[in-house]
Amino acid sequence: MSILNELPSVMGVLQEKANLSQRSWIGVGGPAEILFIPKDMDDLLTFLRNLPAGHHITILGAMSNVLVRSGGISGIVIILEDWFKKIFVEDNVLETGAAVRCAELSTTAMDHELGGFEFLVGIPGTIGGAIKMNAGCYGYDLSNIFMECEAVTVSGQIKWLKNSDIKFGYRDSTVPDDLIITRAWFRGIPNVDYSIPKKTNEFLLKRKANQPINKRSCGSAFKNPDTKKAWELIDAAGCRGMRIGGAMISDKHCNFIINEDHATAEDIENLGEKVIQKVLDSSGIHLEWEIIRLGNK
């Protein structure tokens, strides 16, 4: 009997054995046992409140920093789409759905002449995941502009988290893994003393010059240690251009693992683990994955 028969009826999409590799930025990964894409907030709440106990839930966004292993993800995968892609601007505050792309939030702020969002133009993920991992680049991160968010527990209860309720760290936060962020509010800076379009374009140009944006990847593979940049350690360990199967350490930026030639999730993860060992051997520093690895091998 299909697991679908045990689940509440929905208005959105409820699909068994859904292909996740097509949604992944790096283009690999096994299926979701069940994929749920709610039509709207009411659909999400109704589903969660009527879901029988015992079902494991995984929340995914744009999958720009996620590697799903080939065995796929057991249980229910929830992905927010169209209804959660709205942006509203009032005075200096931007209210945004969790499925809005970071780059779109950046350009919306620019259109309303609000500063502080320029760095987001080069971040490929969605707002929900960006809050959870405190996304950032070039010395900027989301915690500096974040005000509060609305979230839903896996039992369907609505919660509110203010900036002061969350401890933000480097590519990390204390937002619980079982919370589904649905909306967020950010404060823009009016009347800045610089050109917002110019600064936004500078971030774009820097990303194009330094990152392999024309290749499939999950963004930065490893977190920067306290003392040095991850790419410097990887380069010094002789890993630039190193390959396992179809996965390769980028020649352009060696903190990026790229899907160079029909790589598998195993190729990518094994290559990353080999880099970690080589860096440890050469420098004594243990790199931590920045890519979130999920699912069954």
More confidently predicted of 66 and 1: 66
Looking at the domain assignment, is residue 198 inside a domain? Answer: no
The catalytic position among 220, 250, 260, 269 is: 220
Task: Decide: 272 and 257 in contact? Cβ < 8 Å.
Answer: yes
Question: For residue 17, what is the domain's CATH number?
Answer: 3.30.43.10
More confidently predicted of 103 and 177: 103
Phi, psi of 100 (to 5 degrees): -70, 135
Q: Does 171 participate in catalysis according to the annotation?
A: yes
Same domain, 150 and 242: no
% the chain with pLDDT above 70 = 100
The closest of 105, 67, 134, 44 to 268, measured between CA atoms, is 67
The span from the CA of 38 to the CA of 14, in Å, is: 8
Q: For position 2, what pLDDT does the model report?
A: 74
User: Of 66, 82, 98, which residue sits at a domain end?
Assistant: 82
Same domain, 77 and 104: no
More confidently predicted of 234 and 178: 234
The closest of 56, 51, 58 to 29, measured between CA atoms, is 58
The catalytic position among 33, 118, 269, 290 is: 290
Same domain, 232 and 285: yes
What is the tally of structural domains in the chain?
3
Looking at the domain assignment, is residue 147 inside a domain? Answer: yes
Looking at the domain assignment, is residue 262 inside a domain? Answer: yes
Q: Does 283 participate in catalysis according to the annotation?
A: no
Q: Does 23 participate in catalysis according to the annotation?
A: no
User: What is the rounded average pLDDT of the residues 75-90?
Assistant: 97
Looking at the domain assignment, is residue 218 inside a domain? Answer: yes
Same domain, 76 and 65: yes
Residue 1 has pLDDT above 60, yes or no: no
User: Tokens at residue 79, please?
Assistant: 């992905």
Average pLDDT, the chain: 96
* β-bridge pairing 57-60 and 73-79: parallel
User: Of 17, 52, 82, which residue sits at a domain end?
Assistant: 82
Question: What residues does 180 pair with on adjacent strands?
Answer: 152
Range of the domain at 234: 214-294
Same domain, 96 and 175: yes
Same domain, 109 and 181: yes
Looking at the domain assignment, is residue 54 inside a domain? Answer: yes
User: Of 42, 59, 82, which residue sits at a domain end?
Assistant: 82
The closest of 297, 296, 248 to 271, measured between CA atoms, is 248
% the chain with pLDDT above 90 = 95
User: Tokens at residue 264, please?
Assistant: 């598998």
User: What is the rounded average pLDDT of the residues 65-88?
Assistant: 97
Looking at the domain assignment, is residue 272 inside a domain? Answer: yes
Q: For position 56, what pLDDT does the model report?
A: 94
The catalytic position among 81, 171, 216, 266 is: 171
Question: For residue 280, what is the domain's CATH number?
Answer: 3.90.78.10
Looking at the domain assignment, is residue 114 inside a domain? Answer: yes
> To which H or E segment does residue 109 belong?
helix 102-111
Same domain, 239 and 160: no
Question: For residue 185, what is the domain's CATH number?
Answer: 3.30.465.10
User: What is the rounded average pLDDT of the residues 144-167?
Assistant: 97
Alpha-carbon separation of residue 59 from 66, 158, 272 (angstroms): 11, 16, 24
Same domain, 91 and 16: no
Looking at the domain assignment, is residue 202 inside a domain? Answer: no
